[in-house]
Structure 1
């Protein structure tokens, strides 16, 4: 087929998809809307734009050039939001450092990303002091401080953030450049080895913002994000740009609330005081909030929350629904920018009872616009739709990372066959709702049967005395593998739990035909806590190492 390319008039403006263009509409439509940082800072969108300009000037004065990398180590804050824009808008790369990694891993990511300037919250100075002298690339350090005071440190600090901005003008003429320029880099913790760097361009971040917003804004009633909402992330800004929602919230021009370090009393206070209506978090955070004694004093009805990062159990979903929370699942991964699917409910589904709703809300959901999802077998052949059929989720979308930074081998594995491989096994129902049944590496193979660790976790979590559960496969000489259930009891409920109680509970679902008899765990171990990754997911690699 012959190409018929659009002819461009010499004077026509091509309008590259750059992050700076996300700032236009809020400055026109909602310039007086607020950005809030805890109980410390409150300013409007006009001020946000001015501070972004000041930060751009400050970075240039520090020697940052297009193509350089600026790293940030901070809690969720207005400063981080300013960096989300100013750093890539001058043509530099924003590295959002995972502050929950070990000092050695942080050192690796700083050097691997070749950070030139590092903005660091005073609370993380001890981490940098541990690795000082081994950081090869960083030339300048900027202190991020709520107090503005200079703490005692052996690190050579070049400037304090607010003082730096105060010395710079607000007007900055942000240039146009190729929309495929890298805008962000961050590191995802894998199952083995050092973290892997993923990266995204201006074009990808703009398209992800538009695609996610189109999916969030179109439901008839449930789970909508609109200009009347108040947004507060409870997913770290260092992790996949807080799932991309700060960009979306800014583009919409809605009120934004940044909580700093996550503490349940602070989060609940901000939700109540600032009338937060939209958030996202991992199941661990929602568990923490629902278990906090102060929750009875907060009206959570109307609070919309996307749960991602790990499967949401029906028990957690129903507990949240009981508080009036509009809770539902979203799905993605670090490599996908991240949002791929959302579990919105149609008006007819909302007429169902709590159990029927929970079934849908806990599913992986349906793909966003511009997201192509396939379920395939080991040979990349599509598997048929249906609850009994499962395959790996592979995807195509304009906002997927194009590889791992400086890692050709793993990049090719990620994109084998021209689709990005998620490593997640799922099935699809007749309405197109996906349901992840497990990670490929976490499926328990026992006696010729495959057991979904996620499904078994969900069943055990329905026991009224269980607070949290993880299920892993353990080697078994006779059956290959058998499930081990690691259970955390609810406060004051330890006496009501023993191994037989858990097995009897699971056997009830076997008798109903929900799962096979192979699912009843031979071993149940009661623990005080379950190991998590740096972003709050159950760390099954660590659990297998610990209990092997």
Structure 2
């Protein structure tokens, strides 16, 4: 029997899921709401709409048309937000360039994406100057000049500057309809092995991700919420997974938005205070940095909600945030998933029995958000019991997952083997449905025949009063196969006498209670001045293992 496809009236509007439609509500309901940049520049949503149209006309005059890739190198700004909309709304493709990659990697990603136009902030002129001769596809350079910034000497043949381009362009633009499956964005993953891989998303995927994120974040009875009364500021770079998709959510809701430019801890804390910021997101290492900066010592964080993603939320950091009044909770996803898959929001009536229980719940990987089909499977793709113990790989399906890696069919097939996207994360699911990641496949430690969760040991060590940061890695051991090694950064005022043994005894206490195996207690604890991190602030355990072995 044939599917009963609905009849379509000839003049009915099919309403494709395009990014331009995200602007209808805020422009109609919140035209005078503020968008703030660094506390210095202020504009309204009405102005945002006009600048988006002017940007589209300006780019059009440079030959940007459907299918053209436009690359951007900028700090988190109102300009970046304008590019989030104008470029894909033209039918072009936005490449958000990871400015923290090496110059050679930046050149590779721009060439690999096929970018023809490159918008460059003044601060990145030295990088572009160093790779200009390597950029094979870029034909037009546009300078983003910043008040107060001094341009380094260069020979880049700029067409012109961003603001004059907008000022001289028409304020009306008729954004066309096209297939909702048209590619809207491209950016590059920052793995610790091999060249960066291009991840891409369509208009349909970004719109569905925006709607679902908005619904998921609005659903809690109280706490861990994002709503129309919030003030939003990202502390996750806009070049990385669309700043977790939150600028699209914030814009659709018409909330006040604050963009901080370059991340300077005291400046971020000042913006939280002066602009009344109530909602942010970042990786754990950034929050750790913020809580320990000078301006944070006297700051009031009692109205600040923060999602931690990009890695585990250590129990010690969660406790410190809660003690400062921050409504902190975990979000989970990855570059390939757009990124949102789950949130650690407390359910209605779920009242923690004490602070330890509350920390435990908020640090879990969380519950899948709507439309996410998430499974824990073994090597044969068979489902594992949801008993909070059986651990396997997380595989997922959702409407917004990347359908592959750009021009990389072999890696794409591995990513989607068996019809589910493979995350490479090891986790368990308990009877209540909460996910708990225990490790990355590449980071899992097997000692004495038992699997050891580096994330769990890190979380336990983070609760030691003298510990500032910690990473646990596995190193080869002739007797046990592997043994965990803890690399620890101490708090500034922490005494170092016998600290390694003190930390080991701290972990031994959890082993004595049966909470962890004796094989999980690190026999080597090394005090280090800092921990190696990736370009987006994640712990770089591959580099740590290499340096420790060396």
Q: TM-score, normalised by structure 1?
A: 0.99
What residue is the counterpart of 2:59 in the other structure? Answer: 59
Counterpart in the other structure of 2:264: 263
Partner Cα separation in structure 2 for residue 270 and residue 317 of structure 1: 22
- Matched-pair contact (CA < 8 Å) for 2:291–2:297: no
The DSSP-based 3-state class of the residue aligned with 2:350 is: helix
**Structure 1 residues 116-135: aligned runs within 5 Å:** 116-135=116-135
Work out whether residues 391 and 426 of structure 1, in 8 Å CA contact, stay in contact via their aligned partners in 2: yes
Please say if residues 467 and 490 of structure 1, whose CA atoms lie closer than 8 Å, have aligned partners that are also in contact: yes
1:417 and 2:421 are equivalent in the alignment: no
SS of match in other structure, 1:385: coil
Contact conserved, 1:227 with 1:253, CA < 8 A, in 2?
A: yes
Q: Distance in 1 between matches of 2:298 and 2:455?
A: 33
Aligned to 1:100: 100
Matches of 1:174 and 1:518, distance apart in 2:
61
Rounded Cα–Cα distance in structure 1 between residues aligned with 2:508 and 2:299: 38
Query: What is the CA–CA distance in structure 1 between the aligned matches of 2:313 and 2:148, rounded to whole Å?
Result: 40
1:277-307 alpha-carbon deviations (Å, 9 max, x no partner): 1000000111011111221322110211000
Paired residues of 1:110 and 1:135 also in contact (CA < 8 A):
yes
Give yes or no for contact 2:266–2:294 (8 Å, CA) kept in 1. Answer: no
3-state SS of 1:59 partner: helix
Indicate the residue corresponding to 1:23 in structure 2.
Answer: 23
Q: What is the match of residue 228 of structure 1?
A: 229
For the 8 Å contact 1:100–1:534, the answer to whether it is kept is yes
Cα distance in 1 for partners of 2:456, 2:317 equals 14
Instruction: Count residues in correspondence.
Output: 548
Q: Distance in 1 between matches of 2:136 and 2:302?
A: 50
Contact map agreement 1:465 1:497 (CA 8 A) in 2 = no
- 2:310: which partner in 1? 309
Distance 1:23 1:125 in 2: 33
User: 2:199 maps to which residue?
Assistant: 198
Aligned to 1:145: 145
Q: State the shift of 1:365 in Å.
A: 0.5
Match of 1:500 in 2: 501
Instruction: Report whether the alignment pairs 1:85 with 2:105.
Output: no
Is the Cα–Cα contact under 8 Å of residues 460 and 507 in structure 2 kept in the other structure? yes
Q: CA deviation at 1:346?
A: 2.4
Q: How big is the alpha-carbon RMSD for the aligned residues of Structure 1 and Structure 2?
A: 1.1
Instruction: Return closer, same or farther for 1:48/1:417 CA change in 2, 3 Å cut-off.
Output: same
State the alpha-carbon separation in 1 of the partners of residues 297 and 489 from structure 2: 23
Distance in 2 of aligned mates of 1:192 and 1:279: 30
SS in 2 for 1:389: coil
Give the Cα separation in 1 of the matches to 2:274 and 2:350: 32
Unaligned runs of 5+ in 2: none
Distance 2:307 2:496 in 1: 34
Stretch of structure 1 that moved more, 458-467 or 490-499: 490-499
Partners of 2:479 and 2:96 in 1: how far apart?
47
Which structure 1 residue ranges, 5 or more long, are not aligned?
A: none
SS of structure 2 residue aligned to 1:176: coil
Counterparts of 1:490 and 1:75, CA distance in 2 = 30
Q: How do 1:410-449 and structure 2 match up within 5 A? A: 410-449=411-450
* Deviation (angstroms), 1:496: 4.8
- SS state of the match for residue 296, structure 1? helix
The change in CA–CA distance for 1:149 and 1:545 in structure 2 (over 3 A counts) is closer
User: After the TM superposition, which of the residue ranges 521-530 and 332-341 deviates more from structure 2?
Assistant: 521-530
Shift of 1:544: 1.2
Alpha carbons of structure 1 residues 148 and 203: separation in structure 2 relative to 1, 3 Å: farther
Counterpart mapping for 1:378-527 below 5 A: 378-496=379-497, 498-527=499-528
Equivalent positions of 1:270-281 (< 5 A) are 270-281=271-282
CA contact (8 A) 1:489 1:497 kept: no
Residue deviations 1:11-69 (CA, integer Å, cap 9, x gap): 11100000000000001111100000012210100000000000000000011111010
Which structure 2 residues correspond to residues 332-351 of structure 1 after superposition, within 5 A? 332-350=333-351
Distance across 2 between alignment mates of 1:149 and 1:425: 45
- Scaled by the length of structure 2, what TM-score is found? 0.98
Q: How many Å separate the matches in 1 of 2:312 and 2:498?
A: 24
Q: Is the 8 A contact 1:33 1:255 kept in 2?
A: yes
